[in-house]
Amino acid sequence: MSLTPAEWQIVLLSLKVAASAILFALPLAFVVAWWLARYDFRGKSLVQAIVTMPLVLPPVVTGYLLLMMLGTKGYLGAPLNEWLGISFAFRWTGAAIAAGTMAFPLLVRPIRLSIEGFDRGLEEAGRTLGASRLTVFRTITLPALLPGIIAGGVLGFAKALGEFGATITFVSNIPGQTQTLSLAIYSLLQTPSGDSAAFKLMLVSAALSILAVIFSEWLQRHLAGGRK
C-alpha cells in the first residue's frame, strides 16, 4: 500500500489545490453569506440562485463557463494573459479556481445559517458598552460564527479534494500540473492494469476526507471549550 513518488506528487498536488481553493473562496463566501443573511434587497432570490448554481449545474457546464471566462481566449482570461501575463489554463491555479467555484455553495450555506442564528442583541450590548463595530465583530460576532465557518470550510475542502468535472473541462488532465486525485483515478481506470493503483488512490482520498472531518470536529470542540 506504499505510494510511489508519482502518487505522492498527485496527493500533494490535490492537497495544494484543495487548500488554495478554500483560501480563495472562503473570504468571498463569508461576504456573500453575510450579505444574504443581514440584508434584504431587490434580486436577493436571483443572487441565491446564482450562488447555488454550481451545485445544480452539471460540473462540465461550470467548467465550460470558467473556460469561456478565464481561458486564454476568455472574456477575462485573454486580457489578463495579454496585459499582465496571468494565465490559469493548464495550471494548478486554474484547478484551484475550478475546485473553489464548485465548493462555493457549500461554504456559503453553513456560514449563512450561523449568521442568521446569531443573537444580534449581543452586538447591540457590545456597542452600548462603547465598543466599536470592528471590536464587536472581532470579539463577539466572529468567535460565535467560527463553528459555521469551520463546517463550511471542511465541506468545501472535501468537495474541492474530490472535484472532477469542472477541473477536467477547464484545465484538462495534465500529470504534474492539474492531475489531482480524482483525475488520476479516472485515468488509471481507463488503463487495463490500473485498477490496483486506482483503488490505492481511492483509499487515500477517503482517508483525507475522513481526517478533515475529524479535525473539524476536534477544532469545534476545542473552540467551544475555550468559550466556556
Give tens-digit pLDDT for 192-222. Answer: 888 889 999 999 999 998 888 888 888 777 7
Give tens-digit pLDDT for 14-30. Answer: 999 999 999 999 999 99
Task: Give start and end residues of each alpha helix (H) in the chain.
Answer: 5-38, 44-56, 59-70, 77-79, 92-117, 121-128, 133-136, 142-161, 165-171, 181-189, 195-227
- pLDDT value at residue 147: 85
Nearest Cα to 67, choosing from 58, 57, 56, 78?
Answer: 78
CATH code reported for the domain at 5-227: 1.10.3720.10
Give tens-digit pLDDT for 149-199. Answer: 988 898 899 899 999 999 999 999 998 889 999 999 999 998 888 888 999
pTM of the model: 0.89
Q: How far apart are CA 85 and CA 69, in angstroms?
A: 16
